[in-house]
Chain A
Amino acid sequence: MESLNNKEQQEFQKIVEQKQMKDFMRLYSNLVEKCFSDCVEDFTSSKLNNRELTCISKCAEKFLKHSERVGKRFQEQNALMNQNLR
């Protein structure tokens, strides 16, 4: 990959920020879908019950810890792979 000069880097940075925003929205809506589908199953009331609330909070926390751990391992593997290519 050819390196980018200052001006190119600035332009690229803008693209990165746009993508991060999009990625965050994607993450958010995926997490809502996941925790809703795994935790909410009682539709006799329109309020989330305690069991559902606890489940949702654990579901979200677990997911964030999961993606954090995947991120760490991902970086390690990525570094290893780049090393082996050189």
Chain B
Amino acid sequence: MSFLGFGGNSQPQLSSQQKIQAAEAELDLVTDMFNKLVDNCHKKCIELKYAEGGLNNKESSCIDNCVVKYFETNVKVGENMQKFGQNFQPGRM
């Protein structure tokens, strides 16, 4: 997976350590996103009454939409950041 065009295919040969570090960073990114998704969609979708242990219809469809929208938000923010990045050089405020 590559976000915002990072991790393109232009790198020369990487050392073992660098490759493992890259894999670890990617794993962290995906895990972090998943955990945030679980937290956010739980807050937005799960009714506090806990009337039943299972998910009711409303909660289920809310979760489905919530996940798709989170991804879409991710993409949109990425696009905006790329636009922003074109007239912004880090380290020079």
List the interface of chain A (C-beta within 8 A of B): 1-2, 4-5, 7-8, 11-12, 15-16, 19, 23, 26, 30, 34, 38-39, 55, 57-59, 61-63, 65-67, 69-71, 73-74, 77-78, 81-82, 85
Find residues 5-25 in chain B having any chain A CB closer than 8 Å to their own CB. Answer: 7, 11, 14, 16, 19-20, 22-24
A74 and B34 in contact, given A58-B50, A62-B50 (Cβ under 8 angstroms)? yes
Could you say which of A8, A16, A39, A74 has the most chain B C-beta atoms within 10 Å of its C-beta? A74
**Majority SS at the chain A contact face:** helix
| Total number of residue pairs linking A and B with CB closer than 8 Å | 96
CA distance A73 to B7 in the complex (A): 25
Q: Which residue of A4, A39, A58, A70 contacts B53 across the interface (Cβ within 8 Å)? A: A58
16 chain-A/chain-B pairs, Cβ below 8 angstroms = A1-B22, A2-B22, A4-B20, A4-B23, A16-B27, A30-B39, A63-B42, A66-B59, A66-B63, A69-B55, A69-B60, A69-B64, A77-B68, A77-B71, A78-B30, A85-B2
